[in-house]
Chains A and B, each alone.
Chain A
Amino acid sequence: MNIINIEHIAKIYQVGSEEVHALRDVSLKIDKNEYVAIMGPSGSGKSTLMNILGCLDTPTKGLYDFKGTNVSQMNDNELAAIRNKEIGFVFQTFNLLPRSDALHNVELPMIYAGVSSSDRKERARLALEHVGLSDRIHHKPNELSGGQRQRVAIARALVTAPAIILADEPTGNLDTKTGEDIMALFNEIYEQGNTIILVTHEEYIAEHAARIIRLRDGLIERDEPVAKRYVPKKNGASKS
């Protein structure tokens, strides 16, 4: 079954008196347990597509069907509920709450989902353990390395067991070695049956995915499986 089904969506921004066509006509389907990379140079519309896929924004035209629900016309609050339940975000800049420790950061989506405090703590602890940070749960972001921060963010994305993980340049702020470790973690998550959408502009990062969608000028240029997928060595719980 398709988790994501997008048909002829377009996004037009009004900048002053000028219309900017960030997305012109994009259609795509993503299945459960796919590992998709979205690539494209800046200005290609990949950020806009990611925002729409992540239900942070709605398309100007076209249909977005998410797990059988039309989300293209939803309002703010309905979108927030979808994001909370179904989408796990991993950002380039980690986007953790700076004054809260790792545990509370991972708890955060569950607060908005209405999970009780004790349940939350337990699940957050497990999620942090899962990404190899069981000894760092009470560290604040500024007490963690870049790789560790990204692991906290991944734990936060996973903790609600979402339908898709949406990662926006997850290695962009990390050195190559740490980036490799994070990509290994993503691979592990993928192999556990999760659906991952990776937005990147780097070829070698995109090759970790099983399918690459290339965008240019608001249109899909190519959409094809990766012939020789790069599978990193399994080292998810290693120090990074």
Chain B
Amino acid sequence: MKNYLFELKEGLLISLRAIRANKVRAVLTTLGIVIGIASVVLMSTAIKGIDNAFQTGVASLGSDNLYIDKWEWFNNDIPFWQMRNRRNITLADYKRYKELAKLPAASAPTVWSNQTIKYKEHSVEFILVQGTTDKYINTTNLNFSEGRFFNEIESNGGREVCVLGSEVAKKLFPHGGAIDSEVKIKGHKFKVIGVLAEQGSWVMGNFNPDNQAFIPIQNVFKYFQSQNFRSVTFNVRAPNSQTVDAVKEEAVGIMRRVRGLKYNEENDFSINQQEALLKTINQTVGVIQIAGLFITGLSLFVGAIGIMNIMFVSVKERTREIGIRKAIGAKRRSILGQFITESAIICLIGGMIGLVIAIILSLIINQFLPTSVQADAFILAIVISILTGVLSGFAPAYTAAKLDPVEALRYE
């Protein structure tokens, strides 16, 4: 053990000497590794950022939630045309479901409409306006930055009140003062009674509550579209994660009854869960991951070939040195170790530079994609660069170790 440590230490010193003697070449050689490590670290960081964003976005849906809808959201098992031909789910369906369902902690019907919302000279277009009831808030994890959700009276009475997502509020009221102001949705006045706290799950796009507005459901039918124009979705929340399956089973039974399906007819509704979304997202992220790491791995591979190439040149150039070392007693192992260590150190230096570059670049990327280089990226960079050095240095080092001392000494 002591012997190996001694050899390792001496090998390190010999390698450092050799690298110092060829500074310019060492720097140029590391360039490939610098780029390779920087891109691997950046890519893995970016992928982690994307994944995190997806996960938090999905989590904001709530893990105990079911969505009873005409459409199957995430699975493509059911053909599109078959879902399109289903009867719309109506508010009347919801009322019967609500009467019959015993298990849910809360449930609310929702129907959406794309509208432009205006306040004085400000206006925001293509806002997903959700019509729902006061119970909606109990099916979500949403918080308020100010105000409140509409209450039962406002909901049942179909009052012209609305709750704005944080982005919508920011655009309409850049200087604040949203509460009690009257905004116009499709020309109709609605009083703002609440503004949601920022959710920040940017990946969810329009599904992000930040970009939505909420009004009592009757108003959607009254002002924007007819009852049958768009199918209603039921947001159903189970009391806890253990009861999700029971709630789902109950919902299937009730919905079949509500929809008047015969025993041999297929369900003409779908019960969606975020679990399915998670599966889809994980698949997507997985594909991005593989593709990204493959591409960056390729650049690292090119860097590794560069190292191997230069190490071969270095061995050739230093044939005489190898001859001298062997003549005065260096064993094969020592020579092998010397060149592998040298290549590992060159790669390690390159890896460190690449890591620094990746950290700087990630600060810039951070402006668009919330991400940061984590501790595991350091370890990743160190391990990968040393490994690259050892692997790409092996063949040249082996050639060096095998040299015949007599011929090596004669080499000019």
Task: Using CB atoms and an 8 Å cutoff, list the residues of chain A in contact with chain B.
Answer: 51, 54, 56-57, 76-77, 80-81, 83-85, 89, 91, 95-97, 99-100, 108-109, 111-114, 156
User: B332 an interface residue at 8 Å Cβ cutoff?
Assistant: yes
Whether the pair B329, A80 counts as a contact (CB closer than 8 A) is yes
Are B324 and A56 in contact (CB-based, < 8 A)? no
Closest residue of chain A to B327 (Cβ to Cβ) is A89
Check if A95 sits within 8 Å of B320, measured CB to CB: yes
Q: Quick one: which of A51, A77, A84, A99 contacts B328, CB cutoff 8 A?
A: A84
Contact B321 A80 (CB under 8 A): no
Known contacts A109-B328, A112-B328; decide if A91 and B333 are in contact (CB<8 Å): no
Chain B, residue nearest A94 (CB): B324
Contact assessment for B321 and A97 in the assembled complex, using a CB-CB cutoff below 8 Å: yes
* CB-based contact B409/A80 at 8 Å: no
Can you sample 6 A-B contacts with CB below 8 Å?
Answer: A57-B406, A81-B329, A84-B329, A89-B327, A89-B328, A112-B334
Q: Is the CB of B409 within 8 A of A77?
A: no
**Which one, B10, B320, B330, B406, contacts A80 given CB within 8 A?**
B330
The verdict on A114 contacting B329 (CB below 8 Å), with A51-B406, A56-B405 known, is: no
Q: Which residues of the partner chain B approach A114 to less than 8 Å between Cβ atoms?
A: 3, 6
> Residue B316 at the A interface, CB < 8 A?
no
Secondary structure dominating the interface of A? helix
Interface residues on B, range: 20 to 34
Contact of A112 among B320, B321, B329 (CB under 8 A): B329
Question: Which residues of chain B have a CB within 8 Å of any CB of chain A?
Answer: 3, 6, 10, 14, 17-18, 21, 320-321, 323-334, 405-406, 409
A111 and B10 contacting across the interface, CB-CB below 8 Å:
yes
A51 to B331, CA, bound (A): 17
Is there contact, CB below 8 Å, between B6 and A80?
Answer: no
State how many angstroms separate the Cβ of B314 from the closest Cβ of chain A: 13
How near does chain B come to A86, taking the closest CB pair, in angstroms?
9
Q: Is A80 touching B21 in the complex (CB atoms < 8 A)?
A: no
CA distance A131 to B267 in the complex (A): 100
Within the complex, the shortest CB–CB distance from A225 to chain B, in Å, comes to 30
The residue in chain B whose Cβ has the minimal distance to the Cβ of A48 is: B406
Judging by beta carbons under 8 Å apart, are B329 and A109 in contact? yes
User: Provided the pairs A57-B406, A99-B21, A100-B17 are in contact, do residues A83 and B6 lie with their beta carbons within 8 angstroms?
Assistant: no
Cα(A77)–Cα(B321), bound, Å: 18
| A156 in contact with B328 (CB, 8 Å) | yes
B14 nearest in chain A by CB position: A111
- Residues of B within 8 Å of A76, CB to CB, are 331-332
A95 touching B327 in the complex, CB below 8 Å, given contacts A100-B17, A114-B6: yes
Residues on the A chain within 8 Å of B333, using CB = 77
| Minimum CB distance partner of B405 in chain A | A56
**A83 and B328 contacting across the interface, CB-CB below 8 Å:** yes
* Cα–Cα, bound, A84→B330 (Å): 7
CA separation between A81 and B334, bound complex, in Å?
12
Q: How far is the CB of A9 from chain B (nearest CB, A)?
A: 16
